[in-house]
Amino acid sequence: MLTMIGKRLMFAIPSLIGVVIVTFLLTRALPGDPAAYFAGPAATKEAVEQIRKKLGLDKPLIEQFFRYTNDLAHGDFGNSLTTGQPVATEIRNRLPASAELTLLGLIVSIAIAIPLGVLAATRPGSWIDHLCRVTTTAGVSLPVFFTGLVLVYVFYFRLGWSPAPLGRLDVFYSAPPTVTGFYLIDTLLARDVEAFRSALSQLILPATTLAIFSLAPIARMTRASMLAVLASEFVRTARASGLSPATVIVTYAFRNAMLPVITTLSMVFSFLLGANVLVEKVFAWPGIGSYAVEALISSDFAPVQGFVLTMAVMYVLLNLVIDILYGVIDPRVRLEG
């Protein structure tokens, strides 16, 4: 198992190098001149030139690239031009906010989608099957920013059940001391129940938005894969051996059906990382998605590069986790690893 993990990490290195090169080139290819942007509209040509020189943007591309990679090797992602803060620090502060939101959304979605898919598959044609179909169709056809806005409108503006969509905590509470960066966990560690409640109520709407978005593919895949497995020969053998329906469905059908579902999960998770950008905007969530968008608008290279690189590392880690899960479930994969 350990050798497999090591091997997979080794395979990830070339793709990470590729990501570094591509993001560097892409940010340079983007329209907009950061020097002009920071000099402001009233700046003279000389002032812009001066800023360009200061930022090192007058150097040839290749030299800029080597300086960039050299800094990266020292853990320096550069400084954001807008905030003046080191990118590494900002990402470190903002990543937990995004991760907490995404993970909660995914957990909620899995908790609903998988039972829904399994029940729909075991009772084809029943009301739950129809419910599954309706939910999945609705889920794929609603864009996240729209669901988010509708939820805010209904639960905050109309019903007043939810707090204002303004970040991770109500202004009356101070952030808990950072341990994991996840407010739900940190507030509990600090035994601050009130703050925990506040953090949770802030999380519910954006997490639900993400959950609705990711529900559809997971439920659909679970249903399809369960149906296929339930029709397979070894399930017939299990039935012909008189095993209880619970054993047949859980031990025989479900575990086999999980393999394609896990693949879908990894894809959904990557979609969620992308969808995050919009959800964070709608809910004023201080995550890395909104950070990257703001940086992109102001042609601020360093945060964008930092963001893409962070995402790439997360994809690699995610795929590793998926591979390990596969190995746990399917002995045939274990052999190859």
Partner 1 sequence: MTAQPLLDVQDLTVEFTTRRGIVKAVQHVNISVAKGETLAIVGESGSGKSVTSYAVMRILDRAGKIAEGSVMFSGIDVKAATENQMRDLRGREVSMIFQNPRAALNPIRKVGDQIEDVLRTHVQQAQVADHGEKAIEALEQVKIARPRERYHAYPFELSGGMCQRVVIALALACNPQLLIADEPTTGLDVTTQKAVMDLIVELTKRRAMSTILITHDLGLAAAYCDRVVVMEKGRVVETAKAADIFANPQHPYTKRLMRATPRLGVSLRDLLPEEEGTAVVAGLDPAIHHTSQDSSQSMDPRVSPIGVKFVLECWNHT
Residues near partner 1 (CB under 8 A):
124, 232-234, 236-244, 247, 251-252, 255-256, 329-332
Q: Which is nearer to partner 1, 69 or 247 (CB)?
A: 247
One-character DSSP codes across 81-134: TTT-SBHHHHHHHHHHHHHHHHHHHHHHHHHHHHHHHHHHHHSTTSHHHHHHHH
Shortest Å distance, C-beta 124 to partner 1: 7
Alpha-carbon distance 287 to 303, whole Å?
13
Tokens of 18: 């590729």
Shortest Å distance, C-beta 4 to partner 1: 18
Shortest Å distance, C-beta 237 to partner 1: 5
Q: Which is nearer to partner 1, 3 or 241 (CB)?
A: 241
Shortest Å distance, C-beta 106 to partner 1: 24
Q: Which is nearer to partner 1, 46 or 233 (CB)?
A: 233
Q: Which is nearer to partner 1, 29 or 246 (CB)?
A: 246
Helix (H, G, I), strand (E, B), or coil: what is residue 242?
A: coil
Shortest Å distance, C-beta 235 to partner 1: 8
Note the helical H segments in the chain.
2-29, 34-39, 45-55, 61-73, 87-122, 127-141, 144-151, 183-189, 193-230, 233-240, 245-247, 255-282, 288-297, 301-329, 331-336
Q: Which is nearer to partner 1, 211 or 229 (CB)?
A: 229
